Structure 1
């Protein structure tokens, strides 16, 4: 009887099971799980948290995230330079005429 249908048990063993298993795609997005330690500066911490967005993108999408984070961190540093600091005390060596 060559027209016999294989039994269900036989269909779910061997190569048939492997055909149903999802294949691992090395190019698929995967979390990098890089730890990020809070800095205490809310603006900087928000930018660093944005790096997690890259975990869900393919590698060609990472550049946009990294450039955005870099731009934000650069702006935060520039803002620190623009803040007025405490007045500088006069030097004891200045001419007091």
Structure 2
């Protein structure tokens, strides 16, 4: 065919499989924590996978978020005073 007439089936979207994976286009906003942001961006991988491939991505992201939260708990914080360190004067 000529350059002016496209080949049959060459129109935009003609090769797209309507039953295949389609992007969900869910907006993802930055959280301010680069570790969490990277995990949230990983969720975009499901846009290119069949449904049965979603579980692996979701489990990976969930595990990463759990590790990130656990790391927050492991940070040393200010010392907690023990109850025995408080002395009270019982004067009347």
TM-score, normalised with respect to structure 2: 0.70
In structure 2, stretches of 5+ residues that fail to align are: 1-7
Counterpart check, 1:70 vs 2:56:
no
Partner of 2:42: 50
Counterpart check, 1:38 vs 2:37:
no
For the aligned residue pairs, the C-alpha RMSD in angstroms reads 2.6
TM-score, normalised with respect to structure 1: 0.67
Q: Tell me the CA shift for residue 25 of structure 1.
A: 3.8
Give the Cα–Cα distance (whole angstroms) in 2 for the partners of residues 53 and 83 of structure 1.
Answer: 31
SS in 2 for 1:53: helix
Give the Cα–Cα distance (whole angstroms) in 2 for the partners of residues 24 and 44 of structure 1.
Answer: 33
Q: How many residues align?
A: 78
**Is the contact made by 1:27 and 1:58 (CA closer than 8 Å) also made in structure 2?**
no
Q: Tell me the CA shift for residue 77 of structure 1.
A: 0.4
SS in 1 for 2:56: helix
Instruction: Tell which structure's C-alpha radius of gyration is larger.
Output: 1
In structure 1, stretches of 5+ residues that fail to align are: 1-16
More helix by share: 1
Q: Tell me the CA shift for residue 95 of structure 1.
A: 1.1
